[in-house]
Amino acid sequence: MAPPASSGIEEEIAVDRDGYDSSNATKTVCVMDASGHFASALVRRLLLRGYTVHAALHNHGKLQCIEEELINYNEEKKLKVFQADPFDYHSLVNALKGCSGLFYSFEPPSDHSTYDELTAEVETMAAHNVLEACAQTNTVDKVVFTSSLTAVVWNNHRDNPTSHDFDERNWSDVNLCKKFKLWHGLSKTLAEKTAWALAMDRGISMVSINGGLVMGPDVTISNPYLKGAAEMYEDGVMASVDLRFYVDAHICVFEDVSSYGRYLCFNHVINCNEDAMKLARMLLPPSDTSTPPL
């Protein structure tokens, strides 16, 4: 069963980018998993906007690193760091305790950082467990679930040219993802569908953000999103989103009481050779002379 449809985010997000918002001073939210560049940037932004933040990390080894990184943003002691194993229900509930909202994204475990069919199983089970924990936590009013455009764009549209356009109602085809080993798309599709099914069954208010390739400091040619990049480029759906824009989009849909369903989030589409070459130069190391992927 598909969630309610919502329009894509295509215009600049209406969020105050620099000022402190005193109306958020009593709000406590959880960011999970807070170990990645996107999620840690989201933590910093929420702190600057006045939120109290529970930064929940799946990778326990990064606990001290994250605390040291965010120390300058924690002058008012609004940051609390938790260990939250997605397969340890007690740790999830502990991290969510007292929170009115959850920003959830998945980072592959450090001992299995590449995407494959096993990653899809792990990510799907993690999404199920986290949403179940939310259902048992009576303070969580809203969940912002980070998904991906790869959960939208992979289907057999080439067999039906009239269905070439994509919007938030589309889902990637699981069998096609398995056939062509599009593991990132498979993981995001299965995890998001699982989250939606549980959210609707448990009455959880949830919004998903299906983002393009996130252009942050850690993006490289090995990013699993780029599996099938040539086909995405050919189909006109190779899209990217700046890290700051992506962070603000998450906060926007959380703070907007009227937000619902799925949102496609991007602020650039790579649809010409010049853009493709520019992206390739950004992804490849300066000394790499190999042929660009697009």
CA nearest neighbour of 79 among 60, 66, 65, 94: 66
* 188 among known catalytic residues: yes
The Cα 41–Cα 196 span in angstroms is 25
Count H helices and E strands in the chain, helices first. Answer: 9, 10
Q: What is the identity of the amino acid at 50? A: G
| Cβ-proximal residues to 119 (8 Å cutoff; 6+ apart), any chain | 108, 112, 183, 187
Assigned token pair, 241: 């989103």
Q: Which of 27, 142, 188, 193 is catalytic?
A: 188
Q: Is 242 helix (H, G, I), strand (E, B) or coil?
A: strand
Q: In whole angstroms, how large is the CA radius of gyration of the chain?
A: 18
Burial class (CB in 10 A: 0-12, 13-18, 19+), 220: exposed
Please list the helix, strand and coil fractions of the chain in percent, rounded to the nearest 5, in that order.
Answer: 45, 15, 40
Task: Give bridge partners of residue 56 from the DSSP assignment.
Answer: 32, 82
CA nearest neighbour of 57 among 37, 79, 77, 82: 82
Q: Would you please indicate which residues are annotated as catalytic (active-site) residues?
A: 188
